[in-house]
Structure 1
Amino acid sequence: MQVLSRIGTRVDSSYLDRKRIYMVNIIAIICVIPSFSFSVLNFIEDRFYLSLINFLTGVTYITVILLQYYHQHQKAKALLIGSSYILFSISRLFYRNGGEYFLVSTLIVSMLLYDNIRFLIFGSIIIISTILMIYAFPITNYFNFPVPQERAIYNITSSLIFMVVAVVFFKHVMFHDKKQIELQRLKLEEMNIEKEKIFSIIAHDMRAPLVNTSIIVDIFEENTINKKNMSDFITQLKKQINDQNKVLESILAWSSNRIKGVSSALTNVSIYDLTTEILKDFHIHYTRKRINFNINIDKEIFILADFEHLKIILRNIISNAIKFSYPDTQIKIYTTQDSKKSHVHIEDIGVGIDMSKFDASFKRIKSRSLGTSNEPGSGIGLLFCKELAELNNGQITIKSTPKKGSIFTLSFPLVYRKIDDAPTDDTIVQNKALFV
């Protein structure tokens, strides 16, 4: 039955169209055998005209299936509805077989199969008018004697069951269709958010190398350097261009993986090495503001995380620390540990954050803002950093006082590069196996 119900379906058909095809097929398939069976039975009982009507009904259902097979779905629906109306009306008028209930079933089926409001109104008027005429002007002179009462009851019962099944079937279809639409909407919304994040990362990570290169070019234009220092500046410019290419390649690879749905690749990342690498990219930025960095990171501490995710988090937080720090101040980056977690702290002296607005920062991507030297904000915001941290079993906490500064803390499960250095606590031993 399942195979036969799919006759005429196509891969490119919409969900609702496929369900309508299924419904037409099921109606035709289920009704073929009873139609021919009643044709034989009525012929034996000398109801020749009714036997002919039953036979034509069976032939009609077979034709509907053939039209479905050749993808003539509109013709199949029209034939099913039109022939049902004509044949059920005639059989009811002349044989009192309960056919008016099948007319009601035909009305319900037409409402489920068609969306055209005018057609539905017109068809409803015709069918309702026919049913009213049957009761208002009953025919007493039959071609043959009417069908037995028990057969009329059988027809009425069958039609009522069909009505219930048809309505329940399509109610389920519509409900499932709404769920599919909602899932597609949510998926599109997630894709839009993902694109926004990717573009924000591109804007953020590409800005630093471009600004550095622009500063060096400005110095050349102002002719404020002598020939002795020219070689150093050219070397620095070349390094900035190379760094910019590396950043671009890294971003493109990362964004490509995100779009393709590639899952995060967890590796043990050296916090010291990663922080040192990031600070090189921001050298011109913090030296122009005369900001010093006090680095106190245990070189033996490694974090189990996706390297690109962790890099994005640290770049964003360090970049914001530089932007929102007052000139001639110090930024501290240091690590601490407890029995279960490693913590990376980035502490600045700057404008700080109003903690009453802290929750709002985690609800949407942060709007652009200006730093203490009018540097443009990254536009990424804490939301994205928080999501990336959670994807790597970590978290971000903030302590901040307006006009005094902030401390951003990244916390991740504790792991060690060297197994001999690891404590014997059971929770830590579980992590050691990752680096055997």
Structure 2
Amino acid sequence: MFVDVAKITIKAGKGGDGAVSFHREKFVAAGGPDGGDGGRGGNVVFVADDNLSTLMDFRYKRKYAAQPGENGSGSRCTGKNAPDLVIKVPRGTLIRDAASGLLMADISGDEPVIVAKGGKGGWGNTHFASPTRQIPKFAKPGLPGEEYEVRLELKLIADVGLIGFPNVGKSTLISVISAAKPKIANYHFTTLSPVLGVVKVGPEQSFVAADIPGLIEGASEGIGLGHDFLRHVERCRLLLHVVDVSGCEGRDPVEDFEKINTELQSFSPELATRPQIVLGNKCDIATEEQIESFKSYVESKGLTFMPISAATNQGLKNLPGIVWDRLQQLPPVQVFEPDFVPYAVNPNERTYTIEKTADHEFTITAPWLERILAGSDVDDYESLQYFQRQLDESGILRDLVAQGVEEEDTIKIGEYQFDYIF
């Protein structure tokens, strides 16, 4: 796992419960029910914050819960809606469902994005008054808010990405042209996570460069460090392709150059068309023939070639300015649109299952029915009648009979238990 990933749990607020209340006022007879509705629970909202650059904060706090809505009260007073819980993340953060990996939102724009919706407030007993039920003593509880375990993934929004085989000098280069201090050593895969560095060009001109960890042949198929690192390149507008022209490790610079481009093409054809500047590194230990041979090959491809030595600073003085000028000619960073909308559960959808769990015992699984039951007063005749009518209209009673229910059999619904009576 690389550093720009975090897994958290988000939970929207529960809706406030509806109130059971009756109007009482001097000289006013039979005022009737006046219980107000509950308020909406708070949403969980994500917004982009340009002052953040990592997901480090989410390693210390893993659970985020919005406030519940206020309960309704008498005199038909509706409870207050709870405030939204706003979570700030770096611009470019992707929010995925942790279990399926499906994309839920891409926080790249300026508009806040609701990822988990708060539950609706419950109805007060005012809604249940009718000519035959004039004093309803029950109300609806608020609906629970949406809850998800999500994976936050920060795709680096770097203007420039340094690509190339391991140990070609990318870490040394970014440490020289920026204030970044990556670990540097003479072995492959020293860089285990992308390193960002801000490269100053002038008093108010700068760009962000990312040292992309080393690629190997077959990375597009997941070999080695694979997709975890290739996808970091996706948002770079310009690629600096670092190649060891000295061949000090016995590799051919042309072959290395082609292999890296093949991996980019295999991973994303669009990525392979990204503009490149080819940097021939380690020129201080390369021969003139090696440098000129590789330069001719690169320029025959229509690409810019610059001979450099990150170790001795050779050729690096003009590099930031050249990169800056090229960036001014390129379009802004690509914004990805979400390709997944989480399935919205319809709270009014009356699905249920009935299972015979023992002799003379049936268990009904129906969350919507449990909410109705929680808001009912089983000791009140009219409230109990309303609940039984929901059983009948939903088809549950008919299915119980079809499964052979008998009088005085036990019926379980959530935490509640009843005896079946014809």
**TM-score normalized with structure 2 length:** 0.25
Question: Which protein has the larger Cα radius of gyration, Structure 1 or Structure 2?
Answer: 1
**TM-score normalized with structure 1 length:** 0.25
Bigger strand fraction: 2
